[in-house]
Amino acid sequence: MSISRRDFLKRSVLTGGALSVLSTTQLKGFTKHPIGWKGNQRVSEIASICEMCFWRCGILGNVDKYGKILKIDGNPEHPLTHGRLCARGNAGHKLTYDPDRLKYPLMRVGKRGEGKFKRVSWDEALDFFAEKLLKIKKEYGPEAVGYFPHGIQARFFHQVMTAFGTPNSVEPAFAQCRGPRDVGYKLTFGNNIGSPEPLDFEHTDLMVFIGSHIGENVFTGQVLQYAEALERGAKLIVVDPRFSDAAAKADYWLPIKPGTDTSLLLAWMHVLIFEGHYDKEYIDNNAIGFDQLKEHVKDFTPKWAAKITELPESLIIKTARLMGKCSPKVALHPGRHVTWYGDDSQRSRAMALVTALLGSYGRKGGIYLSSKIPAPKFPSSHHKPKVKRADGAGTKYPFASKGLGVTNGLIDATLNEDPYPIKGWVVYSQNVLESIPETYKTKEAIDKLDLMVVVDVMPVEQILYADLVLPEATFLERYDDLYTVKNAKIPFAAIRQPIIDPLFETKPGWWIAKEMAKRLDLKDLFPWDTMEEYFDHRLSGLNTTLKQMQAKGIAMHSKGTPYYDFSKPVKFKTESGKIELYSKKLLREGFSPMPEYTPIDEVPTGYFRLIYGRSPVHTFARSQNNEILNSYQSENDLWLNNKVAEDLGLLDGEYVKLENQDGVISNKIKVNATPGIRADAVYMVHGFGHNSKRMRKAHGKGVSDTQLMTRVKVDPISGGTGMRVNFVRIVKNGNPIMLSGAFSFLPNFEGEGEEELKYVEDPKRVKAKRKIKKVKKKEVKVEKKELKRKVIELKEVETEEEEDEGC
Amino acid sequence: MRYAMVIDLRKCVGCDACTVACRTEWEVPIGHSRTVVSHSGAIGEFPNVYSTNFVAQCNHCDEPTCVPPCPTGATFQEKNGIVQVDTDLCIGCGYCVEACPYDARYINPETNKVDKCDFCAERLDVGLQPACATTCIANAKYFGDLEDRNSIVYKKVFEEGAWRNENENAAIGPNVYYLGTKNQLEIVKAKFGPRKARLATPAQMWKDILRPFIFGAIGVTFVGQAIAFFNQLRNGEEPIDD
Amino acid sequence: MIWQGICIIQLNKLPKVIDMNEREIIYKTFAKLFNYPDDELIEWIKSGVIAEFLELIEMEEAKIEERNQWNKLNSKSDLLEVLQVEYTHLFISSFPTIPAPLYKSFYEDNEIMGSSIESLIDTYEKYGFEVSKTSNELPDNLVLQFEFASLLIKDNVPLDEQYSFISEFILSWTEKLEEKIIENANLDFYKDLLVTINKFLNNDIATNNTKLSRAEL
């Protein structure tokens, strides 16, 4: 630069006019301290709970003198995790310090999808929100607002939306995750499984996973118990088309043909019953419908299932016998994400029935029972909405949870304005474009809205379509509702408390909800001023206060043993008060009372079935921009059978694209040619392939499985969206590539050969007609009492499910 | 006192909790690691396959090959077996990085000094376990004093027969032991065994050491380094002929 | 309009060396300019104060005409919204990532609140300052750093300490910020601002160095 100092000075002199104007500027960024001030000395360790995923393990946040979170440790006081913490939890503070996080309330300026926003004040934002919402209420009724929440922290918003008058609250935790499982187990045992799954790994002799890939799918407490069980010598059976980390640790790996699990379960039941391995006493005393079940499974032989599942008959028999041998100390994992093929409630039922036959439910070493925690809520004068739900929960999908709802049902309702128009969406901590399949439908539905509000921490793609974006403080900067864990042997309550003050103008969810309530004429909805007041009320049942709890973060509530006491008659919460092997409830709604195997659509020639799962370093599509976690896994890869890869001329590590059955083409993805997967399926970790161009870390890395899911098969019982019904073919250099005609694949299962069933009773001679008649007579009686019972049950369902956590 | 670690590969789920905890505990820059989790992937032919996870870190060997090549004495072994780096003395020459058959060392680009696992010595001082073992979600990492008959590592090594990852390239007494199935240990031998130590030639080392003299930059620090170095020579730790 | 009048009067005054009072105002104004746009800023833009200010601190030929185009393009409220949208896009939140965060740590540690804020906070503390509890901004936000520079000037902190703060904590990253803004800006406003300010900062320091070396002589 050729400017002399003189020039500089000369120009500088000319500053009088503008400067005298500008000199009036008032800045308030700093506080001045008197001489001798030594600066901040804050160094502390604060107990809280994690939110890098939905398991909410105990954490300790270490804060340095600069007010910065230096490190997150596990909280040794936590009764399930004992101070241990997974990779995501260890990297949790990187979320707080992610430069991309939402910082101020934003209002849309341009068109939807254009991404033009301006920062506004909280007052402006909340006034706008209330005005729009009240307008929708006036024009269409309060039910025209749909609410998409996630997790325990959503409860305050839930209260607001309910009091506002909409019944339409939907979480993917149900219809995209564990809905069918909850339905299947509830129909059988009267209880859904809940969170965390109450598997008694501590005492089990055998763990059975069907698709569950613990280790890659991480809940610290569960992995810990699982690993300790392995060390103790517990056996492990893993049913998975893929050689997962759990499969590698298993005594038996059953690489099943995807979608045929129900036939395997039926064959297992066949062996358990006809070889006499089932727990006769348990079944006789506690279950109804055994004879029907026996009749039902008599033709479902291992031989029959072997053909369908493409597993050796001997392997099916051996594993069933092992289960029988270990009965009742068998922990059959009910699964978590189970919306696979559209027959998922029935498959879950089949799993529940195997558990029942083994006598494992409510028994040591099997599935233990959950307890209650006395955590009173503030009484509310607001009534539950009376309008019927738009998502089909309870009507179109008779067994769907009314607490969690059916996301896809509400999207359909918005799109078709059927049964009534939905004009506003309030999305809290949920990613409607990444977690719900058939994205194109979701986008079309958004187009129909008058208002879309997103409350979130990170700018995920859906904010492009939002009219208003409200930035929530991260989990390390806020209080949330009390976290009560009933599915622990010693139930406990844990608090989330701020480790640092919220950065920028982000606010905790409870504050946002409270402010919303004020503006929606629901002032008395939150009759407390501070979180201390709120917590002290909720903790009163546990005889503690927020202050007392703050140091450890945990309050235990010990209560009895988590197993049934069979010395007295046990009453299950089903219609009959017994374990229902045969479900009249299902029959009444027109479904098969006992699980049946429904053949799935075969993989079209040239295609592979797309299956997906979890990674231990990421949570859904939420953590890919985390600096540390991204450095461990920045993209997903495509598991492809090595022989298939060889035939296709693909090398391990090379990049290809995928095209699904509807012509949707993916980003590029790296081939992982491995003998650890069947030839008819490809596998990838869910949550990658972020679409946006400028995403600093996550953009364009790997493939989004959700984008390739242009089809779903809806489970008519639960409303869950079966997502493993999509097929992909491999595209290289722009052209799809096909297997050569010469390719054949005949797996040779080492050590498997002939295995004869040792029948204690000949299935051909099973006659159950007499008993069925008896049941039919009873049915009439039962139906008379039906109405009353239904009302009672509904109430129960609602209180229970409100407590449910997300997935 | 002889610190040792035992890693049970039968329990390890390969989740990287340990490596992330280590990274945040010691602010290890992204792109480098004090400890690494590897996955072998499925080996064999479908469906008869097996695999293992593997966790690597500094082995704090009985006869560390990284100590002798250090020209300044920055790398040294404590009586409790921990191989330490004195960052005040380290000149970032990288000889030790080459000399470690387990690739357990790296040069920190922010400090230009060598860095590696030190069994979380600072945590041990205040009665804590190493960060990785504390956080391991499968409780697959055991840490303790191998000379203490009551310690868990004694039990794992001498009663359960935990195995040392040695081969013909390097048999220098690593103090990270492994438990695993036969198949797992076979994979470890085949895929994750030590390499040959790469040692700098004495001539090369002298040249590098003398360079600062040549450029006349005799600072106080260097004098310290030089003293340490000559002490090392006098102690005869590594004969280097000119 | 009245401001321009004052300016003309000033123009007729004899040249003088830039004084500390003026430097304080200049740095204060930098802070103000990088705050979220408000009515006051628009008022200043509309009345030409900002254009003039930039011309005053600028080394190359005046762009006052060009800058006055801002006035013609938009009504006051439009201009405010246009600038707010641009500010939000560049510095606050945009999907999926903000192109040019105003935090030093982002450029030096690849994150926010990285280790580089430690020495910054120590420096604030050394002079008895702490970021106000009411401030919603991170300590290394450009706005706060400019404000702090103005406070150092106001407090008559020795010149070399002022300049070492500016060079060590501000100039160390504002050139990278400039690149990011140039790359991602939809409007010229912030581009122009930072280019001009960076030049000023460099010159301010160069001037000082000359002064200091003279003093030594």
Q: Which of C25, C19, C20, C23 is nearest to C156 (CA)?
A: C20
The answer to whether the beta carbons of residues B133 and B21 sit under 8 Å apart is no
What mean pLDDT value characterizes chain C?
Answer: 83
Of B13, B42, B140, the CB nearest to A675: B42
CA distances to A176, A276, A367, A489, A566 from A198, in Å = 21, 27, 6, 8, 19
The answer to whether the beta carbons of residues A502 and A473 sit under 8 Å apart is yes
The answer to whether the beta carbons of residues A525 and A501 sit under 8 Å apart is no
| Structure-derived torsion over alpha carbons of residues A256, A257, A262, A265, reported in degrees to the nearest 10 | -20
Strand partners, A468: A107, A453
Phi-psi region of A296 (alpha: psi -120 to 50; beta: other; left: phi over 0): alpha
- From chain A, the residues in CB contact with C199 under 8 A are 1
- A99 confidence band (pLDDT: 50, 70, 90): very high
CA distances to A467, A527, C51, C157 from A518, in Å = 21, 11, 44, 49
Look at residue A637 and tell me whether its pLDDT is greater than 60. Answer: yes
The answer to whether the beta carbons of residues A732 and A650 sit under 8 Å apart is yes
Greater confidence (A784 vs A34) lies with: A34
Residue A638, classified by CB atoms within 10 Å of its CB into exposed (0-12), middle (13-18) or buried (19+), is buried
Greater confidence (B52 vs A66) lies with: B52
Look at residue A9 and tell me whether its pLDDT is greater than 70. Answer: no
Look at residue A459 and tell me whether its pLDDT is greater than 70. Answer: yes
Q: Do C101 and A99 touch (CB under 8 A)?
A: yes
Tell me what pLDDT residue A344 has.
Answer: 97
Q: Do A694 and C52 touch (CB under 8 A)?
A: no
Q: Which of A375, A374, A376, A379 is nearest to A526 (CA)?
A: A379
Look at residue A804 and tell me whether its pLDDT is greater than 70. Answer: no
A779/chain B closest Cα distance in angstroms = 48
Measure the CA–CA gap between B24 and A89, rounded to whole angstroms: 11
Measure the CA–CA gap between B182 and A86, rounded to whole angstroms: 27
Average pLDDT for residues A576-592, to the nearest whole number? 97
Look at residue B154 and tell me whether its pLDDT is greater than 80. Answer: yes
Look at residue A449 and tell me whether its pLDDT is greater than 70. Answer: yes
Decide if C78 touches A, using CB distance below 8 A.
no
CA distances to A168, A562, A612, B16 from A406, in Å = 9, 31, 21, 35
Q: Do A91 and B20 touch (CB under 8 A)?
A: yes
Tell me what pLDDT residue C68 has.
Answer: 65
State what percent of residues in chain A have pLDDT above 70.
90
Residue A75, phi then psi, degrees to nearest 5: -90, 115
Q: Do A99 and C206 touch (CB under 8 A)?
A: no
Look at residue C71 and tell me whether its pLDDT is greater than 80. Answer: no
- From chain B, the residues in CB contact with A90 under 8 A are 17, 20-21, 23-24, 135
Look at residue A36 and tell me whether its pLDDT is greater than 80. Answer: no
Q: Helix, strand, coil shares of chain C as percentages rounded to 5?
A: 70, 0, 30
Look at residue A729 and tell me whether its pLDDT is greater than 60. Answer: yes
Say which residues have a Cβ less than 8 Å from residue B220's Cβ, sequence separation at least 6.
none
Collapsed DSSP state (helix, strand, coil) of residue A602: coil
The answer to whether the beta carbons of residues A88 and A94 sit under 8 Å apart is no
- Lowest-pLDDT choice from A15-19, A379-383, A428-432, A434-438: A15-19
What mean pLDDT value characterizes chain B?
Answer: 88
Listed by number, the residues of chain C in 166-205 with a beta carbon closer than 8 Å to a beta carbon of chain A are 199, 202-203
Tell me what pLDDT residue A435 has.
Answer: 82
Assigned token pair, A34 = 């008197």
Q: Do C49 and A463 touch (CB under 8 A)?
A: no
pLDDT tens-place string over residues A175-227: 999 999 999 999 999 999 988 999 999 999 999 999 999 999 999 999 999 99
pLDDT tens-place string over residues A259-298: 999 999 999 999 999 999 999 999 999 999 999 999 999 9
Average pLDDT for residues B63-78, to the nearest whole number? 95
Residue of C19, C55, C95 to mutate for A, most A C-beta atoms under 10 A: C95
- From chain A, the residues in CB contact with B186 under 8 A are none
Of A18, A68, A101, the CB nearest to C49: A18
- From chain B, the residues in CB contact with A679 under 8 A are 46
What mean pLDDT value characterizes chain A?
Answer: 90
Say which residues have a Cβ less than 8 Å from residue A749's Cβ, sequence separation at least 6.
A311, A312, A315, B47, B48
Tell me what pLDDT residue A697 has.
Answer: 66
Nearest CA in chain C to A119: C88
ipTM value: 0.89
Strands A468-471 and A106-108: antiparallel
Measure the CA–CA gap between B51 and A672, rounded to whole angstroms: 15
Nearest CA in chain B to A746: B46
Nearest CA in chain A to C60: A3
Counted across chains A and C, CB pairs separated by less than 8 A come out at 236
Tell me what pLDDT residue C62 has.
Answer: 57
Look at residue A477 and tell me whether its pLDDT is greater than 70. Answer: yes
- From chain A, the residues in CB contact with C207 under 8 A are 5, 8-9
pLDDT tens-place string over residues B77-128: 999 999 999 999 999 999 999 999 999 999 999 899 999 999 999 899 989 9
Q: Do B15 and A616 touch (CB under 8 A)?
A: yes
Look at residue B225 and tell me whether its pLDDT is greater than 90. Answer: no
pLDDT tens-place string over residues C156-185: 999 999 999 999 999 999 999 999 999 999
Measure the CA–CA gap between A274 and A294, rounded to whole angstroms: 8
Tell me what pLDDT residue A124 has.
Answer: 97
Highest mean pLDDT of the ranges C10-24, C55-69, C87-101: C87-101
Greater confidence (A582 vs A18) lies with: A582
Query: The tokens 């036969």 sit on which residue?
Result: B182
- From chain C, the residues in CB contact with A499 under 8 A are none
Decide if C217 touches A, using CB distance below 8 A.
no
Tell me what pLDDT residue A13 has.
Answer: 40
Measure the CA–CA gap between C50 and C193, rounded to whole angstroms: 10
The answer to whether the beta carbons of residues B52 and B188 sit under 8 Å apart is yes
| Structure-derived torsion over alpha carbons of residues A46, A52, A53, A56, reported in degrees to the nearest 10 | 0
Strand partners, B77: B83
Average pLDDT for residues A239-264, to the nearest whole number? 98
A396/chain B closest Cα distance in angstroms = 41
Nearest CA in chain B to A89: B17
Tell me what pLDDT residue A792 has.
Answer: 43
- From chain A, the residues in CB contact with B21 under 8 A are 73, 85, 90
Assigned token pair, A245 = 């980390």
Residue A472, phi then psi, degrees to nearest 5: -90, 150
Average pLDDT for residues A503-519, to the nearest whole number? 96
Tell me what pLDDT residue B217 has.
Answer: 47
Greater confidence (B9 vs B208) lies with: B9
Cα-based angle B93, B96, B100 (whole degrees, multiple of 5): 150
HSE-up of residue C146 (Cα within 13 Å, Cβ side): 26
Query: The tokens 């209260």 sit on which residue?
Result: A159
Q: How far is CA A107 from the centre of its chain?
A: 30
Average pLDDT for residues A684-690, to the nearest whole number? 88
Q: Do A28 and C134 touch (CB under 8 A)?
A: yes
- From chain C, the residues in CB contact with A471 under 8 A are 93
Q: Do C4 and A35 touch (CB under 8 A)?
A: no
Q: Do A28 and C135 touch (CB under 8 A)?
A: yes
Measure the CA–CA gap between C72 and C49, rounded to whole angstroms: 15
Residues of chain B contacting A, Cβ within 8 Å: 8, 10-11, 13-17, 19-21, 23-25, 30-31, 41-53, 134-140
Assigned token pair, B79 = 């009586």
Average pLDDT for residues B235-241, to the nearest whole number? 42
A296-306 burial: b if 16+ Cβ within 10 Å, else e:
bbbebbbebbb
Q: Which residue type sits at A286?
A: N
Q: Do A628 and B30 touch (CB under 8 A)?
A: yes
Tell me what pLDDT residue A794 has.
Answer: 40
Q: What is the pTM of this model?
A: 0.89
Cα-based angle A369, A375, A381 (whole degrees, multiple of 5): 125
DSSP A236-305: EEEE-SB--HHHHH-SEEE-PPTT-HHHHHHHHHHHHHHTT-S-HHHHHHHEE-HHHHHHHHTT--HHHH
Tell me what pLDDT residue A287 has.
Answer: 97
pLDDT tens-place string over residues A361-379: 999 999 999 988 899 988 8
Tell me what pLDDT residue C21 has.
Answer: 84
DSSP B32-53: --SSEEEE---EEETTEEE--E
Of B24, B46, B136, the CB nearest to A91: B24
Residue of A81, A216, A249, A311 to mutate for B, most B C-beta atoms under 10 A: A249
**Residue A158 carries which DSSP code?**
H
Of B11, B15, B42, the CB nearest to A676: B42
Tell me what pLDDT residue A206 has.
Answer: 98
- From chain B, the residues in CB contact with A249 under 8 A are 10
Tell me what pLDDT residue C13 has.
Answer: 33
- A559 confidence band (pLDDT: 50, 70, 90): confident
State what percent of residues in chain A have pLDDT above 90.
75
Question: Which of the other chains make 3 or more beta carbon contacts under 8 angstroms with chain B?
Answer: A
Q: Do A18 and C50 touch (CB under 8 A)?
A: yes
